[in-house]
């Protein structure tokens, strides 16, 4: 869609009118220059997966973000909002081009995305080069708030290290010594396994074998056969979305359920319980959200989300919602003037987000400092069990900011 379709006037006309209006303002014919800035809509670029194994995650994030902005009267800093959307297909190869469509063609004020760590790395590159404000509502790529951290890059989700690390101690405390890991072989899988390994080996555990599948492959059978013959005390995995649902079903079909305990970061069981029947019952995971938190903000969020979208929210919806909340408070600090980037950044750095997951703060590297919960699948819920790690901050290794 061209700018003309979207704005009713084309960009050149808009700029010319802008110059005329600015002149009028200078002559005292209009109340303020701000009237012009505020008359245009805030341009929010959403770059998320809407097809493929992470499609549902992209939808949940979009819903959550729009709900937060809707609760603010559908405005950011007093201005109407216009969304520009790109399906990134979870394809890292297309990421820079897709991000540039939003930044250069659509001239978005802020870029929001994405789910897949490899795609997020492309967005980080574009954000660093263009200076565009970027809010990451899922992808855990450690580097985004590590060596590649930047003032204009924020995350409202987690680092891949963060939800996996605490599970190491949980398993070691249960006397488990030998664990097999399995994950998709790409940034998120590798970093999630590293996080678990760090926590587990520090607590005395041993990784007996690391098994990998290329993303988004779901041919689990040969690996399950290998696991059955290795007979470890437990298996720790990173999978999410459609792939996670398939693994849970295959695990049961292979007769491993009830024989070898399967653990993971909570992406394994979030947003997939409707799809897997009873195959996930009893599974324990660690994550920064759970379905039964006794938090007033969570109760109101869940009600509003279910009413608006006729769907139950999950961790992805929460992360999208918090990206929306962060944007609302950043825009409010500058009265909707997105030209005042340093002031938006300063407000976002000080943010205390009243999240459905519990209140969290922004680390110096711009990543949430948050509680990680141990949860257990009961029926269609990832039920809260305990706090596995209180106020966990990612170590942000390599980040030179702050």
The smaller minimum CB distance to ligand PHB, of residues 141 and 170, is found at 141
Q: Which stretch binds ligand PHB (CB under 6 A): 26-34, 113-121, 247-255, 349-357?
A: 113-121
The smaller minimum CB distance to ligand PHB, of residues 143 and 333, is found at 143
The smaller minimum CB distance to ligand PHB, of residues 72 and 181, is found at 181
CB of 338 to ligand PHB, least distance (A): 27
Residue from 220, 236, 263, 267 touching ligand PHB (CB under 6 A): that is 267
Under the criterion CB under 6 A, does residue 84 sit at the interface with ligand PHB?
Answer: no
The smaller minimum CB distance to ligand PHB, of residues 53 and 363, is found at 53
Dihedral in degrees, nearest 10, Cα atoms 330, 333, 336, 338:
-60
The smaller minimum CB distance to ligand PHB, of residues 160 and 181, is found at 160
Q: Which stretch binds ligand PHB (CB under 6 A): 5-13, 59-67, 110-118, 300-308?
A: 110-118
Q: How far is CA 37 from the centre of its chain?
A: 30
SS3 276: coil
Dihedral in degrees, nearest 10, Cα atoms 147, 319, 78, 109:
40
CB of 115 to ligand PHB, least distance (A): 5
Q: Which stretch binds ligand PHB (CB under 6 A): 42-50, 115-123, 147-155, 218-226?
A: 115-123
SS3 142: helix
CB of 20 to ligand PHB, least distance (A): 47
Residue from 43, 66, 79, 116 touching ligand PHB (CB under 6 A): that is 116
Q: Which stretch binds ligand PHB (CB under 6 A): 112-120, 127-135, 250-258, 294-302?
A: 112-120
- Of the candidates 204, 205, 181, 203, the one whose C-alpha atom is nearest the C-alpha of residue 194 is 181
CB of 231 to ligand PHB, least distance (A): 28
- Site size toward ligand PHB, by CB under 6 A: 11
Q: How many other C-beta atoms can be found within 10 angstroms of the C-beta atom of residue 28? A: 7
Under the criterion CB under 6 A, does residue 382 sit at the interface with ligand PHB?
Answer: no
Under the criterion CB under 6 A, does residue 320 sit at the interface with ligand PHB?
Answer: no
Cα separation of 320 and 61, whole Å? Answer: 4
Q: Give the tokens for residue 246.
A: 């398939």
Residue 133 · residue 158 · CB < 8 Å: no
CB of 121 to ligand PHB, least distance (A): 10
CB of 369 to ligand PHB, least distance (A): 18
Residue from 42, 44, 115, 224 touching ligand PHB (CB under 6 A): that is 115
Under the criterion CB under 6 A, does residue 193 sit at the interface with ligand PHB?
Answer: no
Binding to ligand PHB (CB under 6 A) within 131-190 occurs at 138-141, 160, 188
Cα separation of 319 and 64, whole Å? Answer: 7
SS3 74: coil
SS3 152: coil
- 240: cis peptide before it, omega within 30°? no
CB of 266 to ligand PHB, least distance (A): 9
Cα separation of 301 and 296, whole Å? Answer: 9
Q: How far is CA 267 from the centre of its chain?
A: 11
Cα separation of 111 and 146, whole Å? Answer: 19
Under the criterion CB under 6 A, does residue 326 sit at the interface with ligand PHB?
Answer: no
Angle at which helices 187-202 and 117-130 pack, to 10 degrees?
110
Q: How many other C-beta atoms can be found within 10 angstroms of the C-beta atom of residue 265? A: 33
Residue 185 · residue 223 · CB < 8 Å: no
Residue from 99, 133, 211, 240 touching ligand PHB (CB under 6 A): that is 240
Under the criterion CB under 6 A, does residue 272 sit at the interface with ligand PHB?
Answer: no
Q: Which stretch binds ligand PHB (CB under 6 A): 8-16, 30-38, 109-117, 287-295?
A: 109-117
Q: How far is CA 210 from CA 111, 194, 237, in A?
A: 36, 11, 10
Residues that bind ligand PHB (CB under 6 A): 115-117, 138-141, 160, 188, 240, 267
């Amino acid at each position: 869609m061209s700018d003309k379709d979207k704005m009713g006037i084309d960009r050149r006309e808009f700029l010319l009118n802008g110059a005329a209006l600015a002149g009028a303002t200078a002559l005292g014919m209009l109340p303020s220059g701000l009237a012009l800035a505020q008359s245009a809509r805030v341009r929010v670029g959403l770059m998320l997966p809407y097809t493929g194994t992470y499609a549902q995650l992209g939808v949940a994030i979009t819903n959550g973000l729009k709900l937060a902005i809707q609760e603010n009267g559908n405005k950011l800093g007093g201005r109407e909002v216009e969304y520009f959307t790109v399906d990134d297909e979870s394809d890292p190869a297309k990421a820079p081009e897709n991000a540039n469509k939003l930044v250069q063609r659509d001239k978005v004020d802020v870029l929001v995305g994405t789910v897949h760590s490899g795609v997020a790395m492309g967005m980080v590159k574009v954000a660093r080069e263009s200076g565009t404000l970027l809010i990451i509502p899922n992808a855990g790529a450690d580097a985004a708030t590590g060596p590649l951290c930047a003032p204009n890059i924020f995350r409202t989700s987690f680092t891949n290290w963060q939800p996996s690390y605490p599970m190491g101690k949980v398993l070691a405390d249960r006397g488990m010594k030998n664990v097999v890991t399995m994950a998709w072989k790409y940034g998120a899988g590798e970093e999630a396994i590293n996080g678990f390994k760090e926590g587990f080996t520090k607590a005395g555990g041993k990784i007996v074998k690391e098994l990998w599948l290329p993303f988004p492959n779901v041919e689990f059978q040969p690996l399950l056969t290998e696991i059955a013959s290795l007979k470890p005390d437990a298996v720790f995995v990173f999978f999410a979305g459609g792939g996670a649902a398939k693994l849970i079903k295959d695990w049961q079909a292979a007769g491993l359920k009830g024989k070898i305990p399967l653990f993971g970061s909570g992406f394994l069981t979030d947003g997939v319980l409707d799809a897997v029947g009873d195959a996930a019952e009893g599974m324990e995971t660690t994550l920064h959200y759970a379905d039964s938190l006794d938090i007033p903000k969570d109760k109101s969020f869940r009600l509003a989300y279910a009413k608006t979208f006729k769907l139950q929210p999950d961790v992805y919806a929460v992360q999208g919602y918090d990206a929306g909340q962060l944007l609302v408070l950043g825009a409010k600090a500058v009265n909707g003037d997105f030209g005042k980037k340093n002031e938006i950044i300063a407000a976002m750095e000080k943010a205390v987000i009243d999240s459905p997951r519990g209140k969290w703060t922004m680390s110096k590297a711009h990543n949430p400092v948050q509680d990680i919960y141990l949860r257990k699948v009961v029926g269609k819920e990832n039920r809260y069990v305990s706090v596995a790690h209180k106020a966990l901050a990612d170590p942000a290794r390599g980040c030179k900011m702050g």
